Structure 1
């Protein structure tokens, strides 16, 4: 009896092992592969457009591998940010479908969704033919960044192309120079180092302003351009202010852009003009990046996706090996940064949506994200940041620290109008046409009028 039972158990065990092996073989035979998923689209050309910066240049270098594996050709158009936005809006409004996917600033997502210009990503992610089961964005991406950059009103419309923020750039070689340290401490009474608060930031800017040596303490992006608004937000948030009293970018709420904190932040921002080059009111992001590359400024507040071109690329920068990076100096708002990003989006008028999705999904894989990040990208994947190669980058820790405290900005359909109002009014203040309070009061009134009943003024204008 015992012997027969043993043989029976052995037969059952053998049968189970055989069944498991068969299931594995079936699973392997039917496993998802990029090549098979792309087969119906072989010979297709997909076209995209984005900002001409290292992250897109890195993507362009990676694309040939995808083309080789799939037979799908990838064409990439690169322009300055404002020109990119204009070309995208022309294509979306005309419904020509020139672009199969677009790379756009996340604050435009609400407008695109409301106007029916972009597709929800769910339809592609629920397709067994298109979805790589190894791609798990709900586990592999920074959830807060993904949901602020690529979602709107509780629904996903894409994935972050870049998870951006701004932080402090400084000349580490200057701040660590013994003679500079001695002279600085003698004048200001404390040790010279990366600015931790705005008093220190101003002192450092003052100390290194030496026009006769071709060196300035800082340079603000004072041109009447969206770069002005983005830069100003760092001061607004750090001083404890905001534009709207809301928790997420897709919400509407009370207008607080003319709060006492906002006025103080704006007045401080203007004070830095004294330590900036004379032409600072004509500068935007490309200009101040060039100044740092040329070693002509001591500290700036700038973008993480532009950092590679200053800190790593010796072909364009004279300060490689001389730079340091840190979170934005702290004010009343504490440790804070801003959420920004460019998102992969698929237009409703696109002609090759499935092929576009396959490329986007492939770009979100670890290997491509790592390669892109190492060459100037700004990944939304924490596992990429955790890699030893990324940790060696001089700006990795500043990026991670900023991502952890980044505040959302409006992605509602009227966000562009809000930006335009603030750019105009802050520019008027910088040009001595108004006081800070007058400029922000006017901004608050106009923003409240644009948004309507959901956005009363918390600080009414007398």
Structure 2
């Protein structure tokens, strides 16, 4: 029922946008006020998932209001609720929310036609330019978070960049390093050069030899939830499996018709078999945890290591300062992959011209190097820069080392490695992804709880995904 409502909403939005913009009251524009003050007195509504950069901006919108005279009201929701609200807003033909947190998979891909191509605003000589231009955004993130199918069009600006990395107890790895190395026959120090098999053996070693310090060697976000798809995908890709042919292209630019699902391939089944084996020695509570659950378990001293989103570093360093370490995820028999979960911010195409210009001012300001640096330093939020230039600032480079006033920067070496084009993990950016995702994590959960073998689970996912893709997407 929800899928049908959202699809109908998207269809209405696509057909109703042009006429609606002609009837919706617009914001005033002050001639001669300059590029940043021309829309003073306007109120913008920004709808966002409850993420770190939005928390930082919401805590202090005063700099933007002082600069522009524009008031910004921010609504933060859990992602599923956000998607519903955005779909209904697009269907209305009016823009209650001018600025949209455009998740690539649940907003950008299905509702791309309801978003403004931002090149039109960047080209407007009466509006401020993006500092550093499009080229200052990390290229893989610009494509994944900001584009859909057309490699030139820009529907969102990269806004956040959570990426899955290997998080581990530095103190315990230091304490047991020599014993582990002798017992295991390899250097157990976490790095992107370790393999998933070695990760398994390290976890098993902690289970057997370090109970006085930690309950389990590893834990995972393996609840029947989006988190399970993310956790599994890192292993899937490293074994050479993928969801569709041309997986990197489907993940980076997206597709409306990705073709048949490839989860029944020998490589995908081998990845599923390993993942099932890995979870068999992980903390049994893993099947009840999403990213927050595994993050809390790691901070609470229950786990020696876990894969999780790198922005959990901020809370790790607050609760257990100096005791957490960060690395790119292990590699598999074929490759390595670190799931990227970043999102961009865009503008509703229902927005009338002056409000559209005001929204552009907010996008330019919110993604500017100065604001990204302020977010990185914020006590209320955090987030991670999506601009190349921010990482080159001396104070940001210095923050990569302890003691750090910007704890997320302690993960910089790991995420730089994870964002390499050959290492970044990008799930399929297709309009019907949300329904496919549900099929994936539902069957993976059956596999982990004994209801299906890896072969059965992968083949059932393929069957379900093929049916979903064949139905297409009405928008």
Asked whether the two chains share a fold, i.e. TM above 0.5, the reply is yes
Specify the alignment match of 2:18 in structure 1. Answer: none
CA displacement at 1:186 relative to structure 2: 4.1
Conserved 8 A contact 2:214-2:301: no
TM value normalised by structure 1: 0.83
How far apart in 2 are the matches of 1:88 and 1:40? Answer: 27
Specify the alignment match of 1:129 in structure 2. Answer: 126
Does residue 389 (structure 1) correspond to residue 388 (structure 2)? The answer is no
How far apart in 1 are the matches of 2:99 and 2:290? Answer: 27
Per-residue deviation, residues 394-431 of structure 1 (Å, max 9, x unmatched): 21111111111214332121122221110111111111
CA displacement at 1:453 relative to structure 2: 10
Conserved 8 A contact 1:304-1:378: no
Moved over 4 A (4+): 210-214
Does residue 420 (structure 1) correspond to residue 417 (structure 2)? The answer is no
Specify the alignment match of 1:345 in structure 2. Answer: 346
Is there any run of 5+ residues in structure 1 with no aligned partner, and where? Answer: 1-33, 455-462
How far apart in 2 are the matches of 1:259 and 1:125? Answer: 44
Is there any run of 5+ residues in structure 2 with no aligned partner, and where? Answer: 1-31, 401-408
SS of the equivalent of 2:335 reads coil
Specify the alignment match of 1:174 in structure 2. Answer: 172
Conserved 8 A contact 1:255-1:448: yes
Specify the alignment match of 2:375 in structure 1. Answer: 372
User: CA, structure 1 residues 374+330, in 2 after alignment: closer, same or farther (shift >3 Å)?
Assistant: farther
Specify the alignment match of 1:269 in structure 2. Answer: 275
SS of the equivalent of 1:40 reads coil
Does residue 243 (structure 1) correspond to residue 239 (structure 2)? The answer is no
Deviates more, 1:210-219 or 1:147-156: 210-219
Conserved 8 A contact 1:243-1:255: yes
How far apart in 1 are the matches of 2:393 and 2:457? Answer: 46
Specify the alignment match of 2:188 in structure 1. Answer: 192
How far apart in 2 are the matches of 1:45 and 1:291? Answer: 42
Per-residue deviation, residues 16-47 of structure 1 (Å, max 9, x unmatched): xxxxxxxxxxxxxxxxxx97224332222212
How far apart in 2 are the matches of 1:215 and 1:81? Answer: 32
Does residue 148 (structure 1) correspond to residue 147 (structure 2)? The answer is no
CA displacement at 1:353 relative to structure 2: 2.3
Does residue 411 (structure 1) correspond to residue 429 (structure 2)? The answer is yes
SS of the equivalent of 1:300 reads strand
Does residue 120 (structure 1) correspond to residue 123 (structure 2)? The answer is no
User: CA, structure 1 residues 91+286, in 2 after alignment: closer, same or farther (shift >3 Å)?
Assistant: farther
SS of the equivalent of 1:241 reads coil
Structure 1 segment 39-438 matched on structure 2, within 5 A: 39-95=37-93, 97-108=95-106, 109-113=108-112, 116-132=113-129, 135-154=131-150, 155-177=153-175, 180-194=176-190, 196-209=194-207, 215-246=215-246, 247-249=248-250, 250-251=254-255, 252-311=258-317, 314=318, 317=319, 319-350=320-351, 352-375=355-378, 376-391=382-397, 392=400, 393-404=409-420, 405-438=423-456
User: CA, structure 1 residues 36+280, in 2 after alignment: closer, same or farther (shift >3 Å)?
Assistant: same
User: CA, structure 1 residues 373+441, in 2 after alignment: closer, same or farther (shift >3 Å)?
Assistant: same
How far apart in 2 are the matches of 1:191 and 1:242? Answer: 30
CA displacement at 1:52 relative to structure 2: 2.2
Per-residue deviation, residues 201-240 of structure 1 (Å, max 9, x unmatched): 1122122236676622111112111111111111111111
How far apart in 2 are the matches of 1:422 and 1:348? Answer: 32
How far apart in 2 are the matches of 1:354 and 1:306? Answer: 35
How far apart in 1 are the matches of 2:220 and 2:83? Answer: 23
How far apart in 1 are the matches of 2:310 and 2:346? Answer: 22
How far apart in 2 are the matches of 1:435 and 1:379? Answer: 41
How far apart in 1 are the matches of 2:447 and 2:326? Answer: 29
RMSD: 2.4
How far apart in 1 are the matches of 2:33 and 2:447? Answer: 57
CA displacement at 1:382 relative to structure 2: 1.4
SS of the equivalent of 1:164 reads coil
